């Protein structure tokens, strides 16, 4: 084989190589969100209420305890799961029931869920229960929203003030 032909073949091979590298470096394009879609992210970081109420220890019972363990209140560590429901225009789009992590199920709960929705106006409704001692939601929120295409609406829970925040 002549060296000229070999060079041509090499150029062809290098071109195939460049094409493969260049093409798959950016193509095919990936559509993460359609042009008319927006996204809602539910990002809740909150510790559920204690499963059982704290109990005041009677003085006689307290006296039986070693001096260093004599705390006036007995608070069981276990916390409640968090049940959360996000409804959009009457339709449930996110529903979650998260048990508290930790060996004693006493840790705070993190929920991070995203959902793609059509951009535009919607009626958003939130319900959350953070106590097994209460029937039904402990927190609710209702709001009209109007989302632009590609907009991200982040819903968080302000534990300190006990309310949902939408940003």
Write the CA distances from 83 to 43, 67, 95, 96, 135, integer angstroms: 13, 40, 8, 6, 11
Name which of 43 and 57 has its Cβ closer to another protein.
43
Considering the rule CB under 8 A, would residue 6 count as an interface residue with another protein? yes
Contact stretch for another protein (CB under 8 A) within 2-10, 63-71, 78-86, 138-146? 2-10
From 151, 158, 162, 166, residue interacting with another protein (rule: CB under 8 A): 151
Instruction: Determine if 132 is a binding residue for another protein (CB under 8 A).
Output: no
Contact with another protein (CB under 8 A): which of 52, 57, 62, 107?
107
Question: How far is Cα 158 from Cα 111, in angstroms, rounded to an integer?
Answer: 13
- 43 contributes a contact to another protein by CB under 8 A: yes
Site string for another protein, 111-130 (x = CB under 8 A): xx------------------
Contacts of 105 (CB under 8 A, 6+ apart): 77, 78, 79, 99
The C-alpha atoms of residue 68 and residue 70 are separated, in whole angstroms, by: 6
| Total residues found in the chain within this entry | 167
Taking CB under 8 A as the binding criterion, the range among 54-62, 67-75, 88-96, 105-113 that sits at the site for another protein is 105-113
Instruction: Provide, rounded to whole angstroms, the least separation between the CB of residue 105 and another protein.
Output: 13
- Sign of the dihedral through C-alpha 54, 60, 65, 68: positive
Q: Which residues contact 48 (CB under 8 A, 6 or more apart)?
A: 79, 80, 81, 82, 100, 109, 130, 131
Q: Binding residues for another protein, per CB under 8 A?
A: 1, 6, 9-10, 12-15, 17-18, 20-22, 24-35, 37-39, 41, 43, 45, 101, 107, 110-112, 149-152, 154, 156, 167
């Amino acid at each position: 084989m002549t060296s000229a032909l070999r060079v041509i073949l090499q150029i062809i091979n290098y071109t195939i190589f460049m094409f493969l590298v260049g093409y798959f470096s950016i193509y095919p394009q990936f559509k993460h969100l359609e042009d008319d879609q927006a996204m809602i992210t539910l990002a809740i970081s909150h510790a559920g209420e204690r499963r059982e109420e704290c109990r005041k220890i009677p003085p006689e019972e307290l006296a039986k305890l070693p001096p260093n363990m004599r705390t006036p209140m007995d608070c069981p560590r276990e916390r409640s799961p968090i049940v959360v429901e996000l409804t959009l225009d009457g339709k449930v789009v996110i529903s979650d029931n998260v048990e508290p992590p930790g060996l004693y199920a006493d840790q705070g709960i993190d929920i991070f869920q995203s959902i793609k929705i059509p951009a535009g106006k919607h009626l958003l409704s939130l319900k959350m229960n953070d106590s097994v001692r209460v029937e039904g939601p402990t927190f609710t929120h209702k709001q009209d929203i109007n989302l632009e295409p590609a907009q991200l609406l982040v819903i968080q829970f302000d534990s300190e003030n006990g309310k949902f925040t939408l940003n």
